Structure 1
């Protein structure tokens, strides 16, 4: 059985451990973690840079994901590393006192990419825009998402 959760606990636990070590003035350790979640999304945590390549899932970017990611991640959003579509960078010397929020936001990266599609089309519906009826995203060879 697969336990499906909204956020990615591997990202959250890895960042929280490293951020706590810095707060306790322990020596920062190098980190390089690459993993795939249940949905086939590949993540790469390198030192404190989180990247997420969406492959065919890049199609959600055409529906406003860039704007939503800028709004959610602000200065943590940087140019993607080679081979990835989204990268977040956390500078250890500039972390906020309460790290829970940024750690949780990092764990929500994939969900935030998809949220942009829903936000865009819900906004169209609220405004009564015609001609913007739906988004069709061919998520995988055998899966298509209609919004």
Structure 2
């Protein structure tokens, strides 16, 4: 199966072309869409040598509560400017003051292409930091880390789509990440259930250190039932990832955040791919059946003719 990329390929290609020493100054005014209804605006409002990249994301107000501005300041500190009207966050890159080293330029391009990923990383980083604090307190107070904690900290809710959200709950022994997702069709729910069962089977067969994956339909998991706005309906499902300490060590956190925040898009992308594959196989099989039916048709015999004397001929 295809693993979706975390960066925006179009932004990466535009900046790679513009950062080239042989590139000629040109005006830019391009609106770019990304997963989860995220919008970018790449433009040169002041001069051709200054490129502004603006980000619009539906859940920015939720992200502000979880330190998104601090995270983005660490990534884009010297390039941050006042947000462009209609957008949530903006940076400006001066082509005349780019890093001199090619490796540093490539790193800057990569970070800008990861704009959406870095913004959505804020609540995960906060949850992992809270996990470290709660785990340290538990060890200090001699709490059994193998026993799940009921209280824990508050649930972080990120309403990143119109009807779908991500819920993150850190505790002293784990970090629970829950995706709510809407199935528009009954067939999507069936495909999704089969697809998620593969996660369970793969963990049982070969990847025993993988996070535990749970799925529930209609009713939300216990961890988020007290959160305002959580829905219970026939067309909604909840996918739970249980991350233990081995999954979120210091050297794995960046990779873990990148993988888990793209899960919803990965999930629905492969549901659509599975449906498309089955439709193509069905069309192929129907075409083969039609060939068999055409071969089974009897040839129509030509009608015999008679002469006046009664002789027959064709």
TM-score by length of 2: 0.43
Alignment partner, residue 44 of structure 1: 41
Moved over 4 A (4+): none
Alignment partner, residue 137 of structure 1: 158
Alignment partners' CA distance in 2, 1:49 and 1:127: 38
Structure 1: gaps of 5 or more residues? none
Alignment partner, residue 88 of structure 1: 91
Alpha-carbon deviation of 1:116?
A: 0.8
Alignment partners' CA distance in 1, 2:83 and 2:19: 22
Alignment partner, residue 107 of structure 1: 113
- 1:126–1:112: structure 2 CA closer, same or farther, 3 Å change rule? same
Query: Which has more radius of gyration?
Result: 2
Equivalences for residues 1-147 of structure 1 within 5 A:
4-20=4-20, 23-24=21-22, 26-47=23-44, 48-97=51-100, 98=102, 99-128=105-134, 132-147=153-168
Q: How many residues align?
A: 143
Alignment partners' CA distance in 2, 1:109 and 1:58: 16
Alignment partners' CA distance in 2, 1:137 and 1:38: 15
Alpha-carbon deviation of 1:10?
A: 0.7
Query: SS at the partner of 2:121?
Result: helix
1:60-82 Cα deviation digits (max 9, x unpaired): 12210100000011111211111
Structure 2: gaps of 5 or more residues? 45-50, 138-150, 169-314
